[in-house]
Chains A and B, each alone.
Chain A
Amino acid sequence: MSRIRPFLTLFFAFWLGAALQLAAAPHMTIAGAAPDILLIVALSSAVFFQPTIGAVLGFVGGLLHGGVAGADTSSLTISSTLVSYAAGYVSRLDLDVRPWYVGLVVLAGTVVSHLLLMIPAPPPETWPYLRATIVAAMYNGVLAIPLYALMRRTLRPKVN
C-alpha cells in the first residue's frame, strides 16, 4: 500500500492535470498567458524525487501535454524532461522545502522550458513571447504553491 500510494497520487495528479490542461487552462488566461498545468504537476512532483525520476515525471508531463494539445510532442517532452530533471536536485539539498520554494522552482522551470521551446520553433515576435513567458511563469509559480502543499501530504513521508 505504501509503495502504490505515491504512484496512484501521481497518476491521479497527471490525469486530472491533463483534463484541466485541456478544459480549464484556456479559461484561466491572465494578461494573455494561460497556466501550463502539466508542467506545474511535473515540476511540483519532481522536487520529491531524485533527478532521474524527476526526468521521468517531466517526460510524462510533456507527453501528456503534447497529447492533449495535439501539438509537437517531441519538443514539449524534451523541454519538460530537462527542467524536471533539474528540479529533482531540490530533493538532494539539505533544507526544509517550503511551498514557496517550489513556487520559485516552478517559476524558473517554466522560464527555462519556454526558452528551450524557442529553439526548435522560434516565435514570430520574440518580445511578446518573452513577456507572455514571464507572466505564465509567475502564474505557474503561484499555482504550484497550493499544489505542492497538497502533494506533500501523500508524497513526502514516503520519500527521502
Chain B
Amino acid sequence: MLGQIQTAARNNGRSDPVTLLIQGLVAPPAQVVSNSLSYTEKFLKGVRDADMLSRQNERLTAELEGMKQYQETLDRLQGQIDALREMNDYVAPPTRKKVYANIIGQSPGQNSIIIDRGANDGIKKYQPVIAAKGLVGIIEVADANRSRVLLITSPAIKISAAIEGEPRIIGIISGATATRLSMGVFGSTDVLVGSPVVTSGISEYIPAGIRIGIVIESVDDEKFGAKRVFVLPSLVMGELSEVFVLK
C-alpha cells in the first residue's frame, strides 16, 4: 500500500506524505550532523595541509618580495628610459654634438660630480652638462677618460641666464644652496614668481634655451639698484644618473 502511495505521488511529480514527514523530522539533526562533519573535515584538512600551506606561504612571500623588487627595478629603469628619451629629444645646435655620459661619482660638499667621459671624447673645460630636466653644470676639469662637473648649485659657478617673459630679463646666475640658485639682475623690472629661467646664450660654450629652473622669490637690492632673484633648480642633483655634454 505504501509502495502504491509512493508510486502515485511520484507519478504526480511529488514526494509521498510519509517521505515528506520523515525528511521533515530528520532534516534538523541531519543539518547539525552535516555542519559538524563539514567543520571537522575543514579542521582536519587544515591540520593535514598545515605544513604544505606553511611552505606555500613562505614561497608566496618570497615571490611577493621578488615581485616588489622587480617592480622597483622596472620603475627605476622606466624613469631612466624617460630621462634618456627627454635627453634625446633635446636638439643640439648644428655646430655642437651630444656626448652621453654616466655619473660615476658625486661630491655634494664641493657641488661637483664625476662623469665617465673626458678629453678623449672631445670634452673640454666650460662645456655645459645637461640632463633631461635641464642644465646640470659645466665641465670644470677634463681628464683623459673622466671629467669633473661643477654643478649649478655651486656658488663658484657664474652662468648667464634669462628669465623668460615680456620683457626677457638677463642676469648672472650662481648657486646659493643645494636647492636654491641666486640671480642678480639690473633695473627695477617686475619679475613674476613662477617664470621659467633658461640659459641666455651669451656665452661661448653654453647655448640659449637650456632650462635652469623657475623663479621662486624676487628681492630689491636698493643699495646697488639691482634686483636679486631666487630660482628653484629644475634638477634634483641626487637623482641624476645619465647626462650628456654638449661639445
Q: Which positions in A face B, CB cutoff 8 Å? A: 15-16, 18-20, 22-24, 27, 63-64, 66-68, 70, 72-74, 77
Contacts and interface: CB of A to CB of B under 8 A. Distances in A.
Interface in B168-186: none
Contacts of B6: 66, 72-74
B2 A67 contact: no
A89 B129 CA distance: 110
Given A27-B41, A63-B22, A19 B33 contact: yes
Nearest to A70: B19
Contacts of A15: 25-26, 29
Contacts of B41: 27
Contacts of B29: 15-16, 19
Nearest to B3: A74
A15 B22 CA distance: 9
Most buried by A among B21, B29, B31: B29
Contacts of B27: 22
B188 interface: no
Interface string B1-22: 0110010000000011011011
A68 B26 contact: yes
B23 interface: yes
B50 interface: no
23 contacts: A15-B26, A15-B29, A16-B29, A19-B32, A20-B30, A23-B31, A24-B34, A63-B2, A63-B22, A64-B26, A67-B18, A67-B19, A67-B21, A67-B23, A67-B26, A68-B23, A68-B26, A70-B19, A70-B23, A73-B3, A73-B18, A73-B19, A74-B6
